Amino acid sequence: MLKAKQHEKEWSVEELNIIFKPLNFKERIAKIYDYFPETEVLMTSSFGTKSVFLLHLLQQIHPSQLIYFINTTYHFPETIAYKEQLTKQFNLKIKEVLPSEKENLITQQDQWWIQHPRMCCTVNKIAPLDPIVAKHKVWISGLMAYQTEFRSRLDIFEQRGDIIKFQPLVDIDEGEFLYHLDFHKLPRHPLEKEGYGSIGCTHCTEKGQGRDGRWVRGGSKECGLHPNFFTRK
């Protein structure tokens, strides 16, 4: 009955941050379902170098959660293989999201990632996910404050347009993150050992520490999914 009442209430990010801040990351992930039903909780994964930690936690705490994978058509083959490996190992529920075939072809033919990287992200990442985001109230994200300056300013809950971003890992440091990877013997992305600290689409990813290899020519370290892109009309 208490959970039903919590599901009915419209929670502000200020209220949620007060409630969730004293909790550890495992408690936060478990508790989010006390405040939002599973159908209103969105989970996405890029299956990059840092993805396995949150996927493993979710598999332990709430394995029925559906996970969306945005297939931009520009992923490394190693990323696709890694996705299949983790899906099988953790018994994940994955749903693939594809961009418009016509618009995706235009980005391929005109190589938008060179002159129009923001628009390339919009066509292949933002637009396909936008209608899915509109059906949910809260979005689980694996962002951690130590990764970039933008992420260092984040709180556990942030309002992003009409959806609440939920970052249960935001306040763990890199040492704690690496400890958990080693302790649980979690499989690493195969390209990490080749010098890729962060991995996205092939055209916009180079070798480098942390996120230094992302969008080197464009200057940004964040794709459009994390800044304030989503506002329902």
pLDDT digits (tens, 9 = 90+) for 29-55: 999 999 999 999 999 999 998 899 999
pLDDT tens digits, residue range 9-36?
889 999 999 999 999 999 999 999 999 9
Domains in the chain, ordered, with CATH?
A: 2-191 (3.40.50.620)
Q: What is the pLDDT of residues 102-114, one digit of tens each?
A: 999 999 999 999 9
CA gap 29, 140 in Å, rounded: 9
Q: Which residue has the tokens 């990351």?
A: 25
Interior CA angle at 166 toward 77 and 32, to 5°? Answer: 110
Q: What is the pLDDT of residues 107-153, one digit of tens each?
A: 999 999 998 888 999 999 999 999 999 999 999 998 886 666 666 67
Which spans in the chain are helix H? 2-8, 13-20, 25-35, 51-61, 77-90, 101-109, 112-115, 117-121, 127-133, 149-152, 174-183
Sort 95 into a burial class: Cβ within 10 Å, 0-12 / 13-18 / 19+: exposed
d(CA 204, CA 15): 38
173: CB partners within 8 A, 6+ apart: 146
Radius of gyration over every alpha carbon of the chain, rounded to an integer in angstroms: 17
Which sequence positions are flagged as catalytic? 223
The residues facing 201 across adjacent strands are: 75
- 175 or 97, which is more confident: 97
